[in-house]
Structure 1
Amino acid sequence: MLNEGEGLRVGVVGTGSLGFHHARILRDVPDLDMRGVYEVRPDRAKEVSRELGVEAHGSIEALFDTVDAVVIAVPTVEHEAVALAALERGIHVLIEKPMAPDLESADRILAVAERTGALVQIGHVERFNPAILAAEPYLERPLFIESHRIAPFVPRSTDVAVVLDLMIHDVDLVCGLVGDPIREIAAAGLAVLTRHVDIANARLTFEGGAVANLTASRVS
């Protein structure tokens, strides 16, 4: 674990599109000790190691032996298994959104984190969007929010529905901005190019009267 005067030792599990950028950025953050990556595809692991100049560990256990915290950037259906393995060793985790494919899986992750004392953070990066940060001081009591998150189809993150892939950003932002519990949800969605919902609309009504109308599509 972290000793006084040492930088936090970090690593990345999964080096797809997002995992690669996590590794690249962590490598260059001052006062962090980037200990490398683990990737199940050997050729990809070698490619990332060569391009970024970081170590590609031969097993996830080998990476865990060297770190205090890891970024988990594997497919969503694998989040729980990787997170539990890290948390059981007291390793802090930053999990790419969504946290898990379902509530039961998320609850199991949190239960182990609470038992071991390791921290769990989810990569809701839109919270730090400069536009959101600039607007927040002026949004004292939003009453109606309309959001459209529209993207062309890319064969990535199709192991979950568009609600967990894209709309989750807007659900997170809206809940934070409104601050009240949700009273009612009305939603509809369709599977277009994958076996999961690819385009969806949700209307969230909050206890304080605020309404948010959210649309997300990954096939537009």
Structure 2
Amino acid sequence: MTTLKIGLFGVGHLGKIHLSQLSTMLNVEVAGFFDPSDANAAGVHELYPNLRRYESAEELIMAVDAIDIVAPTTLHFELCQMAIRNGKHVFVEKPMTNTIDEGKTLVKLVEEANIKFQVGHVERFNPAFLALREYDLKPMFIEVHRLAEFNPRGTDVSVILDLMIHDIDIVLSIVKSSISRISASGVAVMSDTPDIANVRIEFHNGCVANLTSSRISLKKMRKMRLFQKDAYIGIDFLDKKTEIIKLKTPEDEGLFTLDIETNSGRKTIAIENPEIKQSNAIRMELELFRDAILQNKPVHVNVIDGFQAVEVAHQILQKIGRGQTEN
């Protein structure tokens, strides 16, 4: 099988994780990297002394078949555009772009080009979420908490584009309806952009999603709760656990059950803990990107998915901005 030559843009903390996965992947050759930081480059050369550091982004793009962008968000658009115009496949970390206009331009460029373009929404590949692939998700209420300790590394963008965008993407992928209304509030505490935010997204089908994200918490939490007809589904993205509590059906024999007296009579509840198949989410998304190119398959998180998440994130930021102006 053909070997895919990949160039890596950005070898900071996450970039080094990508490099460690790509360098041990079948049918992949990491041709080199580009990063203006001498400190980052030195860290790479300690582990990969023979890996070439390119002096310019253009030079690296021209030397490879595909690029993996793990650079700051503000650089995503320029690098994506340069690669697409040169016919190169692109994997770009979330958020896809820094602005809605940049996202619109990339959508148009990708649609016109004969390349594969995948966005790194890694929570799509979290084992706890993958455990629900065969389950019929039709939530009518969603509650999400994503809390993180403060880390200056992510503060080049707001908590919406840094953390909440993971959950925006997941919610948009499972709610099969368009958005009717967004309400939001947020506060900048440690940086120049919101560090904590609460958002309510209402959909035309009646579903409501409440999302809370904070990067100034004392503990970590990444939980999503889905409520739908006759079922509650809990997903713990951090501890990789999934739980389904539902009204028992004939297919639920063998599950732990509980009888509950209600106003309409006795109901039997079944509790299911789907099997969690442990996997490396970053490696999985990069392998799927490789396979999409070498086997000419669709990518799993495409440019439209990436754009929609960015668009909703910016609508939230606009709501927060208006609220702060009105106060």
User: 1:203 Cα deviation (Å)?
Assistant: 0.7
- Tell me by how many angstroms 1:136 deviates: 3.9
Q: Is contact 1:36–1:63 with CA below 8 Å preserved after alignment?
A: yes
Decide whether the 8 Å contact of 1:24 with 1:52 is kept in 2: no
Give SS of 1:169's match.
helix
Q: Which amino acid aligns with 2:119?
A: I
For residues 84-111 of structure 1, the C-alpha deviation after alignment (integer angstroms, 9 at most, x for no partner) is: 1111111111111001111111112222
**Native 8 Å contact 1:139 1:177 kept in 2:** no
Counting only pairs closer than 5 Å after superposition, residues 1-220 of structure 1 correspond to structure 2 as 5-53=1-49, 54-220=51-217
Alignment check: 8 A CA contact 1:46 1:56 kept: no
In 2, distance between residues paired with 1:169 and 1:140? 18
Following the alignment from structure 1 to structure 2, what is the Cα–Cα distance between the partners of residues 139 and 217?
A: 30
C-alpha separation between the residues in 2 aligned to 1:75 and 1:36? Answer: 18
Identity in percent = 41
Q: Per the alignment, in what secondary structure is the counterpart of residue 183 of structure 2?
A: strand
Contact 2:62 2:86 in 1 (8 A): no
What is the aligned partner in structure 1 of residue 309 from structure 2?
none
Cα offset, 1:139, TM superposition = 4.1
Q: 1: CA distance between counterparts of 2:136 and 2:170?
A: 12
RMSD (Å) for aligned C-alpha atoms: 1.4
Equivalent pair of 1:76/1:157 in contact (CA under 8 Å): no
Question: What is the deviation of 1:218?
Answer: 0.6
Distance 2:67 2:96 in 1: 14
Question: What is the one-letter code of the residue matched to 1:38?
Answer: F
Structure 1 residue runs of 4 or more that deviate by more than 6 Å after TM superposition: none
Moved more, 76-85 or 131-140: 131-140
Gaps of 5+ in 2: 218-327
| CA deviation map 1:169-210 (0-9, x unaligned) | 101111111221111111111111111111011111111111
Measured in 2, the distance between the counterparts of 1:110 and 1:96 equals 16
Distance 1:6 1:58 in 2: 27
Question: What is the rounded CA distance, in whole Å, between the counterparts of 2:212 and 2:90 in structure 1?
Answer: 30
AA partner of residue 156 (structure 1): R
The code of the aligned residue for 1:174 comes to V
Q: In 1, Cα distance between the equivalents of 2:133 and 2:80?
A: 32
Larger Cα Rg: Structure 1 or Structure 2? 2
Q: 1:44 to 1:141 in 2, by over 3 A?
A: closer
Q: Which runs of 5+ in 1 are unaligned?
A: none
Counterparts of 1:157 and 1:111 in 2: how far apart (Å)?
28
| Relative contact order higher in (CA < 8 Å, ≥ 6 apart) | 2
